[in-house]
Amino acid sequence: MIPATKRMYNTYLHVHFYPFNMGRWDDNNNSYGYGGYGGGGGGSESGKKRNWLKIIRRIILIGFVVVAAIVLYVYFTTAGLNVEIIQRGGPVETVSVKLSNNNFFSITNVTVQFDGEQIQTLGNMGPFASIFVTPESGSSNFRQVMIEANNGDIQLIKTR
């Protein structure tokens, strides 16, 4: 029981209440946040807190959507058999070709031919695999690279 000095009496309803608001849901006083159940702040401040939470949630959701769009864009633009010619200068100049299989399935019987030279058989490439290939003759003066895979179903010619 609370001492008499700490409590007050409502003479009309004969219900005693405390000198501070308990924040009940039916008293229409939102001084304790959402419907009066703690949280602090006045009724007008609690609405602002809820708006900040909504804004933060929307920003996070928009961030996920942007990242997903970028990942899908990069995947779809590089899907399939990708060929990249890489040339490095310096005292020893090297030219190599990077083959990338950006698919969920394997590519079989991959062959590479530089400017009508001998065909190099690379075999199978698994999903999302990459292989670096250089000309067997060691010359870095080739003009085109021809790649065939899946028994001729995939043919690609890349020129410098």
| 98 and 141 inside one domain | yes
Note down the domain range covering 148.
79-159
pLDDT for 92: 75
Which has the closest alpha carbon to 110: 95, 129, 92, 91?
129
- Judgement on whether residues 114 and 133 belong to the same structural domain of the protein: yes
Q: What local confidence, expressed as pLDDT, does residue 80 receive? A: 81
pLDDT at 143: 86
Matching residue, tokens 């996070």: 60
Q: Domain for residue 3, yes or no?
A: no
Which pLDDT belongs to residue 90? 76
How far is residue 122's CA from residue 159's CA, in Å, rounded to a whole number? 20
pLDDT by residue, tens only, the chain of 160 residues: 555 554 554 455 555 555 555 555 555 555 555 544 555 555 555 555 678 888 999 999 999 999 999 999 988 887 788 888 888 877 777 888 899 888 888 999 999 998 878 889 999 999 889 999 988 877 778 888 999 998 888 888 888 8
pLDDT at residue 14, rounded to an integer: 53
70 assigned to some structural domain: yes
Q: Looking at this protein, which amino acid is placed at residue 125?
A: M
Q: How much is the pLDDT for 84?
A: 86
Instruction: Report the CATH number that the domain containing residue 133 is assigned in CATH.
Output: 2.60.40.2890
pTM for the model stands at 0.53
Tell me which of 26, 53, 74 is where a domain ends. Answer: 74
Say which residue the tokens 């209440």 belong to. 17
The pLDDT score that the predictor gives to residue 28 is: 56
* Secondary structure of 104-141 in HEC code, one letter for each residue: CCCEEEEEEEECCCCCEEEEEECCCCEEEECCCCCCCC
pLDDT for 63: 97
- Distance from C-alpha of 153 to C-alpha of 128, rounded to nearest angstrom: 19
